[in-house]
Structure 1
Amino acid sequence: MRESRAFRVLRAVGLGGLLVFTVLPLYVMLSTSVKPLGDVRDAFRWWPSELTYRPFVDIWSTVPLARYFVNSVIVAGCASAVSVTLAVFAAYAISRYTFRGREMFRMAVLSTQMFPGILFLLPLFLIYVNIGQVTGLKLNGNLSGLVITYLTFSLPFSIWMLVGYFNSIPRDLDEAGLVDGAGPVRVLLSIVVPAAKPGIVAVGVYAFMTSWSEALFASVLTDDSSKTLAVGLAEYSTQNAVYWNQIMAASLVVSVPVVLGFLFMQRYLVQGLTAGAVR
């Protein structure tokens, strides 16, 4: 069917508006990051009066950005790795086996996604404080406590998603592996996991990005030594000044790992999301 001229014009206008809506904030962020602080404090201008890359140097000394960066990598990496690993085994058990409480467990996993995270903030804080007082194990103000916290919302979602992916894989593959003498664990690792790789990657990317950008729990459950980037970026705003050029520069720097990871995993991510949509 041939497209009408009005439809082509409307499509061009819509795509142009979407492009402006997407690119304009990125341009403002990039241009602000290379402006002197005086330009940022004055009336907004589209082009800096003087190009300077000083903000990209100062961001590392104004706040301990490197430490926050490492903390975020550790927390997001560990949370996503543990979440995906546990979710693979749990989702395979739900998908392939029938056991007492199976449907109740599935509903419990799904129901955890219905509640806002702020409801769990105070209970988790009190639990961590009591554990520290009783056992001496410090979870509040510690990276391990933050990893456990992120598992409370990334793990249920990962299980729920992977159950659907595993259900789409024919059981004949499992039976063929069992006939050849492979055990259930070997069938899972050698047959099911490679077939579900796009879904596993998509879940891993989600878990990593969620942990990387989370700020609510990190603002309460961390101290000066365990702060992550989502919380540490606020330190560029002080009582005396707000270093907007450094905030924009730091935001660009900390976005690089996520963007590179997304581009690297894009092929698997698209396959996983497409498979999920088909189901």
Structure 2
Amino acid sequence: MSAQAEAQRLLPRPLLAVLTTLLCLMVLVPLLYIVLASLNTDVGVAGGEFFPSTFTAASYSKIWTTADLSTGIVNSLIVCAVTAVASALLGTTTAYVLVRYTFLGRLTILRGLVGLQSIPGTLMLLPVFVLFSSAGNYLGLTVIGTRWGLFVAYLTFALPFSTWVMVTYLRGLPRELEEAARTEGASTVTILWRIIVPLSLPAIVVSGIFAFLLGWNDVLFASVLTRPETHTAAVALQIFGSAQEGGALPVYSQMMAAALICAAPVVILYLLFQRYLVGGLTAGGVK
């Protein structure tokens, strides 16, 4: 039975249409307001205008001087891109070992990957900060305030999820492909990079995108582990928004424009890899 037929079986067609319309409105109306507010003046937004009386794109040019958004976006792109690539590659190789080999402690590791997902990131903020500070004192390394320190923190939280996604996906790949390659003399590394990785591309994309979003949306760790020149886009946006509180005329239009600019890379990422997302997210759901 198709998904549309299944939905119609659960709900009558009129009710399904009403619910679908309401859900679309809940998403589109706030988005439309943000877009219109970014094209309005600060005075118009502060006055409560939903539809601008005067359309202007001045906020998109002012935001680069009123908020340190360019530095934040560059830092976020560098840290999050490296985290996504490293998490996807390490998660794939680790998952391959966990799925295809049997060794002592394998089940413990698999259960630990699931258990790590239940630990809130806020509980790890102080331990991570103390650990990074100790590394700076005892090893002579500068970790706090650097991009690579933020990368290590993000990778710590992204790698368990990426590994579990790949474990679920690799369990569904037939072993016959690997056995056929071994009969031709292919090594384990060759099998991994020439057979497993191309076949697992949907799951690799999903794990990479989620790792990217983990860093892109983070404010807590980025605000503690960075300094002004290494602030991410989320921190720059938060600082800019906090600076307007209590002002004579909050620059709401510029805040909306900054929010759309910060959201643009994520939207572009989804548009580029959307054909892989459906297959990767549903991987392992049917055996």
TM-score of the pair, normalised by structure 2: 0.92
Q: 5+ residue gaps in structure 2?
A: none
Pick aligned residue for 1:263 from 264, 268, 271: 271
How far did 1:38 drift?
1.0
Amino acid paired to 2:118: M
- Aligned equivalent of 1:180: 184
SS of residue matched to 2:103: coil
Compute the displacement of 1:268 (Å). 0.9
1: CA distance between counterparts of 2:181 and 2:204?
21
Alpha-carbon distance between aligned partners in 2 of 1:142 and 1:113, rounded to the nearest angstrom: 26
Question: Which residue of structure 2 aligns with residue 81 of structure 1?
Answer: 85
The separation in 2 between residues aligned to 1:7 and 1:158, in whole angstroms, is 39
CA contact (8 A) 1:236 1:243 kept: no
* 1:98-113 correspondence to structure 2 within 5 Å: 98-113=102-117
Other-structure match for 1:210: 214
Q: How does 1:142-161 map to 2 (within 5 A)?
A: 142-161=146-165
- Kindly provide the amino acid, as one letter, of the partner of residue 120 in structure 2: P
2: CA distance, partners of 1:46 / 1:187: 57
Q: Which residue of 2 is the match for residue 140 of structure 1? A: 144
2:126 aligned to which of 122, 125, 137: 122
Total equivalences in the alignment:
276
Change (3 A) 1:93 1:16: same
Residue 10 (str. 1) matches residue 18 (str. 2)? no
Shift of 1:240: 5.0
1:276 matches 2:284: yes
Residue in 1 that maps onto 2:34: 29
Describe the SS at the equivalent of 1:265: helix
TM-score normalised according to structure 1 size: 0.94
Q: CA RMSD in A?
A: 1.7
CA distance in 2, matches of 1:234, 1:204: 25
2:169 is the alignment partner of 1:165: yes
In the TM superposition, residue 36 of structure 1 has moved relative to its aligned partner by: 1.1
Question: Matched residues in 2 for 1:199 and 1:235: separation?
Answer: 35
**1:100-147 superposed Cα distances (whole Å, 9 cap, x missing partner):** 111111122221111100111000001111111122211111110110
Q: What amino acid sits opposite 2:124 in the alignment?
A: F
Contact 2:206 2:276 in 1 (8 A): yes
Please give the alpha-carbon distance, in whole angstroms, between the structure 1 residues aligned to 2:18 and 2:246: 44
Q: Distance in 2 between matches of 1:57 and 1:259?
A: 21
Residue type of the alignment partner of 2:258: A
| Distance (Å, rounded) in 2 between the aligned partners of 1:127 and 1:11 | 52
Equivalent residue in structure 2 for 1:236, among 236, 240, 247? 240
Q: Are the aligned partners of 2:168 and 2:283 in contact in 1 as well (CA < 8 Å)?
A: no
CA distance in 2, matches of 1:102, 1:234: 42
In structure 2, what residue type is equivalent to 1:170?
Answer: P
**Deviating runs (4+, > 4 A) in structure 1?**
none
Unaligned runs of 5+ in 1: none
Percent identity between the two aligned chains: 38
Q: Quick one: which amino acid aligns to residue 199 of structure 1?
A: A
